[in-house]
Amino acid sequence: MTATAIPLDHTLTLVSDTAINIYRFNASGQVAATIGTKNGPVCGPLFSWRVLSADCIEIADSDGHTDRWTNIRVERDLLHAECNGLARTFTIRKPSQ
């Protein structure tokens, strides 16, 4: 598997006033997510993910729908990426010890 900037076993939380997108990637190729809107409905799907290159991953659901994150870069406690062409910033939280 190609190395990636995605921090494994850390919590990535989208910086947004309206959307909830929280991800936790693991080395086995799964990502647990919480997706929804603030003060609205949320769901907790489990996706699969794979590395396409050092700065690109693909996330897939069980129906075959995929999201592609490109131009991934980490700056301190922030992860920046283009998610399906839209610029996104996520905070990175280390796992609790």
User: Does residue 73 form part of some domain?
Assistant: yes
* Cα torsion 6, 8, 10, 12: sign: positive
Give domain status of residue 80, yes or no. Answer: yes
Answer whether residue 78 is part of any domain. yes
Model-wide pTM > 0.75: yes
Q: Evaluate whether residue 19 is within a structural domain.
A: yes
Q: For the chain, how long is the longest CA-to-CA vector?
A: 38
Q: How many domains does the chain have?
A: 1
Q: What is the mean pLDDT of residues 58-67?
A: 94
Domain that holds residue 62: 11-93
Does residue 5 fall inside a structural domain?
Answer: no
Task: Tell me the per-residue pLDDT of 83-94, one tens digit each, with 9 for 90 and over.
Answer: 999 999 999 999
CATH number for the domain including 22? 2.40.128.490
Rounded to an integer, what distance in angstroms lies between the CA atom of residue 51 and that of residue 58?
6
Residue 76 lies in a domain: yes
